[in-house]
Structure 1
């Protein structure tokens, strides 16, 4: 007998491929399957960490910041340059989707990784009575290491990102796990400095990450409402899921600019992408082609559309939004378990 999850997956596949109103533009031959970190075998977890560390040792191609030394830095540098043009805007979700897919592709083509990017379903931890630090992603052996140690990090004098530089948000250097001795060359914030990987785990962020918060977003009738549930709007009074995951981890992740310096950033955004994909599948004939919102923050404000190009620079291929809206079409070719 099929499990409920497997039965649902077959039902979705039948609907998507057999409904006359929907036809894939470039159907995939094979799909990578992204798994939740705690559902991966220990060997799969170790192999993913190996690939990330490989990228952290690879030389740059053409970084957006001269201080970037490694290929991993190069992804962080590109994000720092693009952050202001992709947050609180209509392209937020598709840009991050393609950025993450480009990162995944680098792990596979440059570091011989055979798997898919994992995701961190933080709602499982937010719904529990335990500290979010008890999440498997923070395990010192089978995860990404734990919290920062107080007093081990001294902020620079450059206050270009005041929120991220607040001592309570940073706490200190990560002392456990595979990235305990890793040196970042960019951040925290918009500047360049050599420093340890920092974290400041915050249980106060759990309220932005619960299953009820996710369920509320899934009730959104259109893309504009859904995106607002995920990342809010410029000037939104409270935090949201996109903020919540970064605040929960703290340290480098608290910065809108240098957050990809923490490898957990990619698992956080994979989960956001998964939630968007789940929402899209509720009405694929409409939502696989739905995009809206401002494309710029300054006058004249333009509306984002499917022809908006998701710029990846030296990281990889830049593509229009229309190419990333359906995960089961090329060049995406992945799904979520």
Structure 2
């Protein structure tokens, strides 16, 4: 689904639906009934970014209470698809460290079967921290995205490159952690993906709340990256390939019975 849900109008509602399905799976298949309290967990990067400490010291990556830290350092690691070296040579962003299997925390022995890319290969969870990307996740970036006045401008400013000239909050988070989560196709293999995308979803809900009456039904953008495509409407159906489709209008308000969550 990756190529059908990025750089398009359904980017935000599709990922909102995806997050809810993950929460339901945790409840029904893994027994985490505490999530039935309808509070969606997110991770706001900006306080730790603004504090100036290194990414490896962020609480979310604590080996005991968090999600574990960076991957084993691979000299000259160039990303899952060699893309980091291209970015560095273009003078856009310098590579970070890591790239190999994470070595501590609860997912140190975690086995993934999807990726890299669209392949199906058993492999470890990789991370490649890059402190050079932290600028795209600061509190000032949040202020910038929230001051947008239309859904289309907000979505583009939130989602980021290649539509924008540099990264933004969405792609900045993926590439800040790097490794698996920076893989366009298999990024959900890193559990941090869900906390990051819940943060993206929260920003959308916060933006709607700034002018709820006019924004709760705002949706726009093309339905595909390449022709043929039409304009997204509230009737556009969100296909996840695993459950029956729902229309975008059914996920616009997170408090409705289908979604039933809020942000604290």
TM-score (norm 2): 0.89
Aligned pair in 2 of structure 1 residues 193, 170: CA closer, same or farther (>3 Å)? farther
Query: 1:46-74 deviations in whole A, cap 9, x for unaligned?
Result: xxxxxxxxxxxxxxxxxxxxxxxxxxxxx
Deviates more, 1:106-115 or 1:254-263: 106-115
Quote how far apart the aligned CAs of 1:128 are.
1.2
**Matched residue, 2:247:** 320
Following superposition of structure 1 onto structure 2, how do residues 1-337 of structure 1 map, counting pairs within 5 Å? 82-114=1-33, 115=35, 116-151=39-74, 161-163=81-83, 171-232=99-160, 234-314=162-242, 316-337=243-264
> How far apart in 1 are the matches of 2:262 and 2:40?
10
Contact 1:164 1:255 in 2 (8 A): no
Deviates more, 1:83-92 or 1:116-125: 116-125
- Structure 2: runs of 5 or more not aligned: 87-94
Quote how far apart the aligned CAs of 1:206 are.
0.9
Query: 1:111-141 deviations in whole A, cap 9, x for unaligned?
Result: 2212244211111111111012211110001
> How far apart in 1 are the matches of 2:175 and 2:3?
19
Question: Secondary structure of 2:165's match?
Answer: coil
Query: 1:13-51 deviations in whole A, cap 9, x for unaligned?
Result: xxxxxxxxxxxxxxxxxxxxxxxxxxxxxxxxxxxxxxx
* C-alpha RMSD of the superposition: 2.2
> How far apart in 2 are the matches of 1:200 and 1:103?
24
Contact 1:169 1:254 in 2 (8 A): no
Quote how far apart the aligned CAs of 1:163 are.
2.6
> How far apart in 1 are the matches of 2:49 and 2:74?
27
Aligned pair in 2 of structure 1 residues 170, 96: CA closer, same or farther (>3 Å)? farther
Question: Secondary structure of 2:51's match?
Answer: coil
Q: How many residues of Structure 1 are paired with residues of Structure 2 in the alignment?
A: 251
> How far apart in 1 are the matches of 2:230 and 2:98?
36
Who wins on radius of gyration, i.e. which is larger? Answer: 1
Quote how far apart the aligned CAs of 1:234 are.
4.4
Aligned pair in 2 of structure 1 residues 87, 139: CA closer, same or farther (>3 Å)? same
Contact 1:164 1:189 in 2 (8 A): no
Contact 2:72 2:98 in 1 (8 A): no
Deviates more, 1:164-173 or 1:175-184: 164-173
TM-score (norm 1): 0.70
